[in-house]
């Protein structure tokens, strides 16, 4: 009963947050450079035509009218029409098919990063200060320090010239998946391993570990029955958001490998100054973010028995 109540309360808060966030984002979008509404022929237009375009888009109305229209349209599932990218096509029709590609790559990378990152973090904590830990830390250091934009390039270059794998994504060629998936997962492996290691080490220093050891458990029993489980819980909170965000795709990797996903789309939309498309995508990002937080809190509540009584809110 407590659980249902908590979930409903949390859901209500999420909805309110969502409404506020989307409104703010929408209003921020009014700051977008105005030429992004005129399409490719903006140079050829005279000021009068431009004004007409803006008027037809409702952009000359007072902000509160625009906001109201935005919400009305949103309830009809209408986020506007593309201006340049695919002229007059509803943006949702452009975005949704793209999300599929992003999700496929994102999930592949997410699985890879958890399958490698979690055990790596566990082993690093277990053998803290030993060779494996040092190696792992070096990896984390390099991945965190070197800009992703740089090592993505090196992977693309190295992978294609050393192993002859395709440099760009081809739907017909399954090997063309390899490089983008690896690129996408490297950062995730590093951060998963780093946090898992940190949580494990934190747990190992807790008093209850002393008691568990005093019970007569060996340190590997303590690691598996107590530390691992407790260290995993904070990881669980971020998992739903990670899964949701796979559909938004990676901006850089997707455009680097020409994957027709959402991340690449945002880059293109900005480069080609398609304001409605940019706006729709940023709104989707914000919505995903709020949903991810909601699901993360619910995941925490399921995993952590303390939440129901001790924490009223879902603040991290």
Partner 1 sequence: MAQYRRSTEKPILSVRDLVVKFKLRGKTLTAIRNISLDVYKGESLAIVGESGSGKSVFTKTFMGLLDNNGWIDNGEILFGGYDLAKFKNEKEWTKVRGKRIAMVFQDPMTSLNPLKTVGKQIQEAILLHSNISKAGAKQQAIKLLTDVGIDDAERRYKQYPHEFSGGMRQRVVIAIAIACNPEILICDEPTTALDVTIQAQILDLIKALQKKFELTVIYITHDLGVVADVANRIAVMYAGDIVELGMCEEVFFDPKHPYTWALLSSLPQLGIKGEDLYTIKGTPPNLYQTIKGDAFAPRNPQALEVDFVARPPYFEVTPTHKAKTWLLDPRAPKVEPPEYIRRLREQGVTFNG
Partner 2 sequence: MGIFSQLHLKNRVYENMAADLETSATEEQVTDDMFKLANHDIKEAEQTAFSGYSYWKSTLKVFLGSKVTVFILIFLAALLLFTFIQPLLPNQKDPIEIFVNPETGIQYKNVQPNSEFWFGTNTIGQDLWSRIWSGTRTSLFIGLCSGVATAIIGIAAGCVWGYARKWDRLFTEIYNIFDNIPYTVLRMLITYIMRPSLGTMIFVMCLTGWIGMAKYIRNLILIYRDREFNLASRCLGSSSFKIITKNILPQLISVIMLETALAIPGAIGSEVFLTYIGLGLPVSTPSLGNLIDEGRAVMMVASQRYQLFFPVIVVSAITISFYALGNAFADASDPRNHR
Binding mask 203-242 for partner 2 (x = CB under 8 A): --------------------------------------x-
Find out whether 94 and 86 touch, Cβ atoms under 8 Å. Answer: yes
Q: Binder to partner 2 among 67, 116, 132, 148 (CB under 8 A)?
A: 148
User: Which of the ranges 18-26, 54-62, 211-219, 287-295 carries the binding residues for partner 1, by CB under 8 A?
Assistant: 211-219
Q: Tell me: does residue 31 bind partner 2 (CB under 8 A).
A: yes
Which residue pairs, CB below 8 angstroms and at least 24 apart, start in 259-263?
259/101, 259/102, 259/105, 259/169, 259/180, 260/98, 260/101, 260/169, 261/98, 261/99, 261/101, 261/102, 261/105, 262/95, 262/98, 262/99, 262/101, 262/102, 263/102
Q: Tell me: does residue 213 bind partner 1 (CB under 8 A).
A: yes
3-state secondary structure 57-96: CCCCCCHHHHHHHHHHHHHCCCCCECCCCCCCCEHHHHHH
Q: Report, in angstroms and rounded to the nearest whole number, the Rg of the chain calculated over CA atoms.
A: 24
Q: Binder to partner 2 among 105, 169, 199, 245 (CB under 8 A)?
A: 245
- Termini Cα distance of the chain: 23
Q: Binder to partner 1 among 162, 214, 271, 313 (CB under 8 A)?
A: 214
Q: Which of 225, 312 has the CB closer to partner 1?
A: 225
User: Which of the ranges 209-217, 219-227, 262-270, 300-308 carries the binding residues for partner 2, by CB under 8 A?
Assistant: 262-270
Q: Residue with structure tokens 């566990």?
A: 122
User: Which of the ranges 42-50, 115-123, 155-163, 228-236 carries the binding residues for partner 1, by CB under 8 A?
Assistant: 228-236
**CB of 13 vs partner 1, minimal distance in Å:** 23
Q: What is the C-alpha to C-alpha distance for residues 158 and 8, in angstroms, rounded to an integer? A: 51
User: Which of the ranges 26-34, 50-58, 102-110, 303-311 carries the binding residues for partner 2, by CB under 8 A?
Assistant: 26-34
Please count the other Cβ atoms lying within 10 Å of the Cβ belonging to residue 293.
22
Q: What is the C-alpha to C-alpha distance for residues 123 and 197, in angstroms, rounded to an integer? A: 8
**CB of 314 vs partner 1, minimal distance in Å:** 18
For partner 1 (CB under 8 A), the number of binding residues is 25
In the complex, the residues that contact partner 1 under the rule CB under 8 A are: 206-208, 210-219, 221, 225-226, 229-230, 233, 303-306, 309-310
Binding site for partner 2 (CB under 8 A): 17, 21, 31-33, 141-142, 144-150, 153-154, 157, 161, 167, 241, 245, 248, 251-252, 255, 266-267, 270-271, 278, 282, 285-286, 288-290, 292-293, 313, 315-316
């Amino acid at each position: 009963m407590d659980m249902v109540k908590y979930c409903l309360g949390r859901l209500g808060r999420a909805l309110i947050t969502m409404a506020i966030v989307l409104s703010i984002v929408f209003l921020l979008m009014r700051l977008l450079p105005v030429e992004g509404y005129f399409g490719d022929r903006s140079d050829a237009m005279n000021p009068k035509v431009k004004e007409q375009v803006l008027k037809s888009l409702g952009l000359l109305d007072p902000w509160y009218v625009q906001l109201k229209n935005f919400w009305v349209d949103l309830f009809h599932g209408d986020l506007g029409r593309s201006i340049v990218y695919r002229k007059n096509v509803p943006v949702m029709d452009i975005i949704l098919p793209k999300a599929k590609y992003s999700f496929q790559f994102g999930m592949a990378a997410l699985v890879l990063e958890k399958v490698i990152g979690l055990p790596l973090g566990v082993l690093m904590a277990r053998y803290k200060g030993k060779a494996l830990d040092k190696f792992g830390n070096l990896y984390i250091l390099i991945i965190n320090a070197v800009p992703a934009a740089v090592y993505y390039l090196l992977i693309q270059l190295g992978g294609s010239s050393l192993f002859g794998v395709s440099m760009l994504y081809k739907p017909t060629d399954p090997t063309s998946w390899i490089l983008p998936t690896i690129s996408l997962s490297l950062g995730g492996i590093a951060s998963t391993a780093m946090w898992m290691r940190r949580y494990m080490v934190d747990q190992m220093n807790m008093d209850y570990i002393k008691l568990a050891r005093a019970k007569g458990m060996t340190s590997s029993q303590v690691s598996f029955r107590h530390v691992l489980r407790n260290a995993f819980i904070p990881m669980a909170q971020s998992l739903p958001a990670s899964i949701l965000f796979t559909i938004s795709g990676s901006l850089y990797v997707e455009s680097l490998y020409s994957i027709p996903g959402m991340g690449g789309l945002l880059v293109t939309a900005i480069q080609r100054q398609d304001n409605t498309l940019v706006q729709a995508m940023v709104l989707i990002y914000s919505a995903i973010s709020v949903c991810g937080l909601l699901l993360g809190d619910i995941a925490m509540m399921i995993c952590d028995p303390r939440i129901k009584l001790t924490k009223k809110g879902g603040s991290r």
